[in-house]
Amino acid sequence: MERAEVLKRVIGILTEAQDIRRAIESGQDDDGFGDAHGDGDGPAARAGVATTLLNEMLPSISVPSDASPQQVAALVAEALGPALHTMVSGFSLAFTSLAIAHDSGRTDVTSIEVLRELALEIEAGTYDEGP
């Protein structure tokens, strides 16, 4: 998966987390069962979106049936290393963007707006290069 796609999925995860937090704080999840009432849009159902986005960012790993534990470990590390590095970079970039807005005293934008602006910058290719 390309770096820009991973960064956009990271932003999607953070946006979903904000939505889940707001729903819980507003009492939309009073019983703690998320979507147990069948409306299809409770916090528990939306948490599945974050899991889906995470799974999309991770590569498939094929392991031969006769692989030793050391070979399995090497295959997993080789496959997951770059993906995890890009994911951590994405979360760090999002955190830094949010922290800069907060630390500069910006009250004219919400965290969702900061993330939306970051997504637009990613779409424009601003962060195509880098770790």
| Digit-coded pLDDT (tens) for 43-85 | 556 568 888 888 889 999 999 999 999 999 999 999 999 999 9
| Distance (Å, whole) CA 102 – CA 14 | 16
Q: How many CB atoms lie within 10 A of CB 85?
A: 12
pTM tops 0.95: no
Interval 6-35 mean pLDDT: 78
Residues 6+ apart with CB under 8 A from 125: 4
Structure-block tokens of residue 15: 């946006």
Contact 75, 63 (CB under 8 A): yes
Interval 24-33 mean pLDDT: 65
For the CA atoms of 77, 79, 82, 84, the dihedral, rounded to the nearest 10 degrees, stands at -70
| Digit-coded pLDDT (tens) for 76-116 | 999 999 999 999 999 999 999 999 999 999 999 999 999 99
